[in-house]
Amino acid sequence: MAPEKIKILYVDDEPDNLVGFKASLRLHYKVFTAVNIPQALSCLDNHPEIRVVFCDQRMPEKTGVDFFEEIRVSHPLPVRILITAYTNVESIIDAINKGNIFRYVKKPWTETDLIAAIDEANKFYMANSMLTIKNDELQRAYNELNKFAHSVSHDIRGPLTGILGAINLAREMDDAEEMKEMMFLMEKSVKKLDAYVLSMHDYYSLQRGELKITEIDFHQIVDELKAIYDINAKINHVAFNIDVKQEEIFRSDQAPLRLIFNNLLSNAFKYQDKKSKTKSVELSIHVRKSVATIYVKDTGIGILGSHVGEIFNLFYRSNSVEVGSGLGLYNVKSALLKLNGQIEVNSVLHQGTTFKVTIPSI
């Protein structure tokens, strides 16, 4: 299939000129014409993908230069080319200098002139649109960088100043028991720092990494997860139940998939209600018709209704009891975006939280 024709608009008050223009160019381009300014404006409104606008300088209501000055503000994207005889050079030079027109084609034009002009204008248009896209990307990256700079000062300096304070205090401490208690708290701070650095690494590999698709054996992944979380389950008396059903081939990227499991499971274990007698974490994975449906269900402290909407935001923490970086669920969401997956949360305060994840096979 041939690439879509570039769309151009020609504005001239003489219908004969419009017909001639369209006749010579319609093979190469999709040509729109307008016989007056209002028609031209409505054409630009209806076809925002028009890349090049030609306008005759001498029009009854307005000069071409004035028209361009106007649409430069109202329709800034299309490249503006003036068509004119050598009559009022001054005003054309002025318009070019003000940036209102890209270039001009002198009358009477030849087809070669026009094609060359459109070609140049199109390159300019493409370069500009690329620049806009890149600019948006940069702006987004900058905003995230700002958030990071702020979080670094708190999430990294926070535990560090705590440890420094503890070292200062240790100089004035004699009691070994007290010292041990402090060491335990210091260890927690160091672990928090370490977890932060690890999730930071996850964050970057998710943002920058390419997808690596392989066949996924959920039974194998679950065996590995079991090995990791069984220890935690035993120490904290949490029942860890797993149910996997996979009878078909499932393709996805291992790394983001593991990240999702690890974050959801470690949260499920971390946010258990310490006082509760029956603590459990349930993981179920069912693969059917090329979709993996995953439930991670815990009997934990739950999430306050008003916080549920925010838990996937960068650096959001809804709880002060346990250490959290505010990166975990944000990373889960980014990973799911990569895998085209969805996540839903259902939480009842003091009863528990269920995450439902669906991921299509790729």
Partner 1 sequence: MNTDLSFIIIDDSELDSFLTRKFLKLTYKEVSISSFQNAQDALDIIGENAGSDNLTQTIILLDLQMPIMNGFQFVEEFEKFPPEVQKNYKIVVQTVLTAKNDPNDINSILKYGTVKSIIQKPLTTEKLLSLFEQ
Footprint of partner 1 on this chain (CB under 8 A)?
A: 146, 149-150, 153-154, 157-159, 161-166, 168-169, 172-173, 178, 181-182, 185-186, 188-189, 317-321, 324
326 token code pair: 């505010």
Decide whether 153 or 214 has the Cβ nearer to partner 1: 153
Decide whether 16 or 177 has the Cβ nearer to partner 1: 177
Work out the angle at residue 198's Cα, subtended by the Cα atoms of residues 194 and 202, and round it to the nearest 5 degrees: 165
Minimum Å distance from CB 274 to partner 1? 14
Cα dihedral value 255, 256, 261, 262, nearest 10: 70
Decide whether 159 or 352 has the Cβ nearer to partner 1: 159
256 token code pair: 């983001």
Decide whether 188 or 201 has the Cβ nearer to partner 1: 188
Minimum Å distance from CB 85 to partner 1? 58
Minimum Å distance from CB 154 to partner 1? 5
d(CA 213, CA 234): 34
Minimum Å distance from CB 184 to partner 1? 9
Minimum Å distance from CB 360 to partner 1? 34
What are the DSSP calls for 109-161, one per residue?
P-HHHHHHHHHHHHHHHHHHHHHHHHHHHHHHHHHHHHHHHHHIIIIIHHHHH
Contacts with 356 (C-beta within 8 Å, 6 or more apart), sequence order: 293, 294, 295, 343, 344, 345, 346
Minimum Å distance from CB 101 to partner 1? 42
Decide whether 200 or 283 has the Cβ nearer to partner 1: 200
The gap from C-alpha 107 to its chain's centroid, in whole angstroms, comes to: 48
Decide whether 137 or 181 has the Cβ nearer to partner 1: 181
Minimum Å distance from CB 307 to partner 1? 8
Sign of CA dihedral 201, 202, 207, 208: positive
Decide whether 128 or 319 has the Cβ nearer to partner 1: 319
Minimum Å distance from CB 196 to partner 1? 13
| Closest residue by Cα to residue 255 from 298, 201, 294, 300 | 201
Taking 3-state DSSP, the helix, strand and coil percentages for the chain, each rounded to the nearest 5, stand at 50, 20, 30
Task: State how beta strands 79-84 and 30-34 pair.
Answer: unpaired
Decide whether 172 or 210 has the Cβ nearer to partner 1: 172
d(CA 287, CA 361): 9
| Closest residue by Cα to residue 159 from 202, 192, 125 | 192
